[in-house]
């Protein structure tokens, strides 16, 4: 074999789209699925749970306690445990990540609603909002900045945590790292790190953009430094 | 008319915030609830729109018990203004003002037009319509709060210390603005304040409450100042009660001297221009120097203004003018003294 090891660019070109499961393109798509699904699921579940915790205050302590315990669990043994139920599938990665997301988002929803100034809530009541309408058109919109801040944390941590799934064969781009065990060949590791960081940055950027579009009244506040 | 009929509010912890309150707030008038902090003003106000429900007794709105009206419906017919304005931070000014019309299902265009009309009515630049609340000063926010309360043209307006958080100059202008608006709109207003000066300035009727939620006295401001019901009210009215009373004593009957412009005037002579308007006083010692003068409109301005005018001039006399500013006479120390002595008796 007269050829030395391929350069990183050659390696990318050769492995980008091989049509096989382990191609970079497929790993990237898997990675996206396994990080986005938990983000969306966590938000969808955390919203009603957070609202319930605000409505019935006694629920909040036990719920946030439980969520903190879940958050403290190391991901690897959780994956191992879940394998017996969901096998070596993407679901095994998606479930714990969803719980991690909830652990951040439930308090974010509760804090967001708590950030509604009392006089604002009182004046909504005084003007004749029904409780549901008050929630939808006053309290939730005012909670948006806090919830979105939580969502940014969840998005970045999910995207990064997916790679741990590689240990059970479902790590998306994390798969590129495990190969490096067997063969100290650097290009896959570099490509994996760069793509994961890029994904995280893009997701965060999109959320910042969403924040600007959804809450112009917050952006304006920062701009009004005078 | 709003009627409190033996209304008591006892909070779950046992605090009696309002104790058998009987009170009427007549239609088209400003009724002020005034008293020290914790005397149950806010509680009383919030029982009207059922943000708090009375424990005992009834509150009637034009004869109908508020308990029989569904709270959101009741509240959409009652404007409410609070101290921190309570504007929605995420909504532009125009949308804040249009809140209740929006809740009532008005057509969007109509609600917006109404909001713009009110923005001007409360003395704000229409250019502020597209701003967010935090971009406005405290005084401007408070005006928006008033505009928002008036948006659906409710017959009743509840105001809970609406001007307490702004600086004194802005407060004065907001108070004047409210009186001007009320002269046009004739709402039934219940206004809560802990500031007796504000109560006396704004109220057609003033109800003084004492801690424990008991009504101490209800009267028009003039009667309150001249005949406080007991020591508590007297104390609450403060040391300036006598001076404040002058606000309610007319200058109609004040005796005026009309011989102060001629040469026989004595040590001070009033100089008047060709139109009969005052230009200043001159003293016998320095006939070439014009000294400052103070005026009051006879019959329109109260005794307090006349006294103020006298104190402004080294002559010690107040110049009485008519509505056009033309001199009708002069109130001297002697004639003011007579009037004050009469006021003290009556
Ligand atoms: N939710 C509540 N629970 C118990 N006590 C209350 C509550 N709200 C007000 N109070 C008490 O009721 C009294 C009257 O309060 P409030 O109507 O707010 O007075 P004000 O507006 O005149 O300052 C005070 O002693 C206050 O501490
Ligand atoms: Mg109060």
The 10s digit of each residue's pLDDT in B260-274 is: 887 766 789 999 999
User: Is there an atom of ligand 1 within 6 Å of B43 CB?
Assistant: yes
Q: What backbone torsions phi and psi does residue A108 show, to the nearest 5 degrees?
A: -65, -40
Tell the residue nearest (CA) to atom 1 of ligand 1.
B11
Structural domain count of chain A: 1
Same structural domain, B61 and B117? yes
Q: Return d(Cα B240, Cα B325) in angstroms, integer.
A: 30
Residue B159 near chain A (CB below 8 Å): no
Q: What is the CATH number of the domain that holds B291?
A: 3.10.580.10
Residue A34: pLDDT over 90: yes
Q: How many CB atoms lie within 10 A of CB B249?
A: 22
Residue B315: pLDDT over 70: yes
Same structural domain, B233 and B273? no
Residue B56 lies in a domain: yes
Q: Which of B:183-242 have CB within 8 Å of A?
A: none
| A201: confidence class by pLDDT, cuts 50, 70, 90 | very high
Residue A226 near chain B (CB below 8 Å): no
Same structural domain, B199 and B283? no
Q: Give me the pLDDT at residue A21, please.
A: 79
Q: Give me the pLDDT at residue A224, please.
A: 46
Tell the residue nearest (CA) to atom 12 of ligand 1.
B17
| A118: confidence class by pLDDT, cuts 50, 70, 90 | very high
| A176: confidence class by pLDDT, cuts 50, 70, 90 | confident
Q: Give me the pLDDT at residue A11, please.
A: 86
Same structural domain, B77 and B128? yes
Across the interface, of A127, A128, A217, the residue whose CB is closest to B89 is: A217
Across the interface, of B49, B72, B83, the residue whose CB is closest to A130 is: B72
Residue A15 lies in a domain: no
Q: Give me the pLDDT at residue A226, please.
A: 39
Q: Give me the pLDDT at residue A73, please.
A: 86
Residue B213: pLDDT over 80: yes
B248, B278, B302 - which closes a domain: B248
Same structural domain, B198 and B288? no
Residue A1 lies in a domain: no
Same structural domain, B116 and B13? yes
Residue B178: pLDDT over 60: yes
CA distance A128 to chain B (A): 4
User: Is there an atom of ligand 1 within 6 Å of B13 CB?
Assistant: yes
Residue A57 lies in a domain: yes
Query: Helices B333-345 and B303-311 sit at what angle, rounded to 10 degrees?
Result: 150
Same structural domain, B174 and B218? yes
Residues A108, A115: contact at Cβ < 8 Å?
A: no
| A1: confidence class by pLDDT, cuts 50, 70, 90 | very low
- Cβ <8 Å between B87 and A117: no
- Cβ <8 Å between A127 and B75: yes
Residue B9 lies in a domain: yes
Residue B86: pLDDT over 50: yes
Write out the residue range of the structural domain in which residue A194 sits.
20-221
Question: Which tokens belong to A70?
Answer: 């879940």
Closest C-alpha to B17, from B32, B37, B33, B39: B39
Residue B320 lies in a domain: yes
Residue B257 lies in a domain: no
Query: What average pLDDT is seen over chain B?
Result: 93
- Cβ <8 Å between B132 and A216: yes
Q: Which residue of B has its CA nearest to A145?
A: B90
Q: What is the CATH number of the domain that holds A33?
A: 1.10.3720.10
| Test site for ligand 1: of B4, B7, B17, B190, most ligand atoms within 8 A of the Cβ | B17
Residue A45 lies in a domain: yes
Q: Which of A:117-146 have CB within 8 Å of B?
A: 117, 119-120, 122-130, 133, 138, 141-142, 144
Across the interface, of B90, B100, B148, the residue whose CB is closest to A128 is: B100
Residue B340 lies in a domain: yes
Residue B343: pLDDT over 90: no
CA distance B92 to chain A (A): 9
- Cβ <8 Å between B82 and A125: no
CA distances from B41 to A21, B9, B19, B64 (A): 73, 11, 12, 22
pTM, entire model:
0.84
Residue A4 lies in a domain: no
Residue A96 lies in a domain: yes
Which percentage of chain A shows pLDDT scores above 70? 94
The 10s digit of each residue's pLDDT in B115-127 is: 999 999 999 999 9
Q: Give me the pLDDT at residue A225, please.
A: 40
Range from A60-69, A186-195, B174-183 that averages highest in pLDDT: B174-183
Same structural domain, B170 and B307? no
Q: How many CB atoms lie within 10 A of CB A127?
A: 26
Give the lowest-confidence range in A6-10, A128-132, B103-107. Answer: A6-10
Query: Helices A175-182 and A24-55 sit at what angle, rounded to 10 degrees?
Result: 130
Query: What average pLDDT is seen over chain A?
Result: 89
Structural domain count of chain B: 2
Nearest ligand 1 atom, CA B52: 1
Q: Give me the pLDDT at residue B260, please.
A: 84
Angle at B24 (CA atoms; ends B66, B56), nearest 5 degrees: 50
Residue A137 lies in a domain: yes
Taking residues A91-98, report their average pLDDT: 92
Residue A112 lies in a domain: yes
Q: Provide, as residue numbers in chain A, all residues whose Cβ is less than 8 Å from the Cβ of B102.
A: none
User: Is there an atom of ligand 1 within 6 Å of B37 CB?
Assistant: yes
Q: What is the CATH number of the domain that holds B150?
A: 3.40.50.300
Q: Return d(Cα B132, Cα B121) in angstroms, integer.
A: 19
Write out the residue range of the structural domain in which residue B37 sits.
2-248
Longest dimension (CA), chain A: 83
| A223: confidence class by pLDDT, cuts 50, 70, 90 | very low
């Amino acid at each position: 074999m007269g050829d030395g090891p391929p350069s990183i660019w050659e390696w990318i070109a050769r492995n980008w789209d091989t049509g096989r499961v382990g191609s970079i393109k497929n790993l990237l798509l898997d990675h996206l699925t396994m990080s986005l699904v938990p983000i969306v699921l966590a938000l969808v579940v955390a919203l009603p749970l957070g609202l319930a915790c605000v409505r019935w205050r006694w629920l909040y302590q036990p719920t946030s306690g439980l969520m903190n315990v879940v958050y403290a669990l190391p991901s690897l043994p959780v994956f191992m445990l879940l394998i017996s139920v969901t096998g070596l599938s993407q679901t095994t990665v998606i479930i714990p990540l969803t719980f991690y997301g909830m652990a951040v988002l439930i308090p974010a929803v509760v804090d967001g609603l708590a950030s509604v100034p009392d006089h604002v809530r009182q004046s909504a009541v005084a003007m004749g909002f029904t409780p549901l309408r008050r929630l939808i058109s006053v309290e939730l919109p005012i909670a948006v900045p806090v919830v979105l801040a939580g969502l940014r944390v969840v998005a970045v941590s999910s995207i990064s945590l997916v790679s741990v799934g590689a240990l059970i064969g479902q790590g998306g781009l994390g798969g590129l790292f495990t190969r490096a065990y067997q063969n100290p060949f650097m290009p896959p590791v570099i490509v994996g790190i760069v793509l994961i960081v890029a994904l995280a940055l893009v997701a965060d950027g999109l959320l910042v953009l969403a924040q600007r579009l959804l809450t112009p009244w917050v952006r304006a506040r920062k701009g009004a430094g005078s | 008319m709003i009627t409190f009929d033996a209304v008591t509010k006892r909070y779950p912890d046992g605090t009696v915030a309002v104790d058998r309150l009987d009170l009427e707030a007549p239609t088209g008038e400003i009724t002020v609830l005034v008293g020290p902090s914790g005397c149950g003003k806010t509680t009383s106000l919030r029982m009207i729109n059922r943000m708090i429900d009375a424990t005992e007794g009834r509150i009637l709105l034009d004869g109908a018990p508020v308990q029989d009206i569904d709270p959101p419906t009741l509240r959409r017919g009652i404007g409410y203004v609070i101290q921190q304005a309570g504007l929605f931070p995420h909504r532009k000014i125009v949308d804040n003002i249009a809140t209740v019309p929006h809740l009532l299902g008005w057509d969007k265009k109509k609600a917006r037009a109404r909001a713009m009309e009110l923005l001007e009515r409360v003395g704000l630049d229409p250019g502020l319509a597209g701003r967010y609340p935090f971009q406005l000063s405290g005084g401007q926010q408070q005006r928006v709060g008033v505009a928002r309360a008036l948006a659906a043209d409710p017959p009743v307006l509840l105001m809970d210390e609406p001007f307490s958080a702004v600086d004194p100059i802005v407060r004065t202008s907001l108070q004047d603005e409210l009186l001007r608006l009320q002269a046009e709109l004739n709402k039934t207003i219940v206004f809560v304040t802990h500031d007796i000066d504000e109560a006396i300035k704004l109220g057609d009727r003033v109800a003084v409450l004492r801690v424990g939620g008991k009504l101490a006295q209800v009267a028009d401001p003039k009667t309150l100042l001249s005949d406080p019901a007991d020591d508590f009210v007297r104390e609450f009215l403060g040391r300036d009660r006598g001076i404040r009373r002058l606000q309610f004593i007319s200058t109609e009957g004040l005796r005026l001297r009309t011989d102060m412009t001629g040469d026989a005037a004595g040590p001070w002579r009033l100089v008047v221009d060709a139109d009969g308007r005052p230009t200043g006083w001159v003293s016998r010692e320095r006939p070439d120097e014009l000294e400052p003068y103070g005026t009051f409109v006879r019959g329109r301005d109260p005794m307090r203004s006349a006294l103020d005018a006298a104190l402004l001039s080294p002559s010690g006399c107040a110049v009485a003018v008519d509505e056009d500013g033309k001199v009708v006479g002069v109130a001297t120390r002697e004639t003011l003294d007579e009037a004050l002595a009469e006021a003290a008796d009556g």
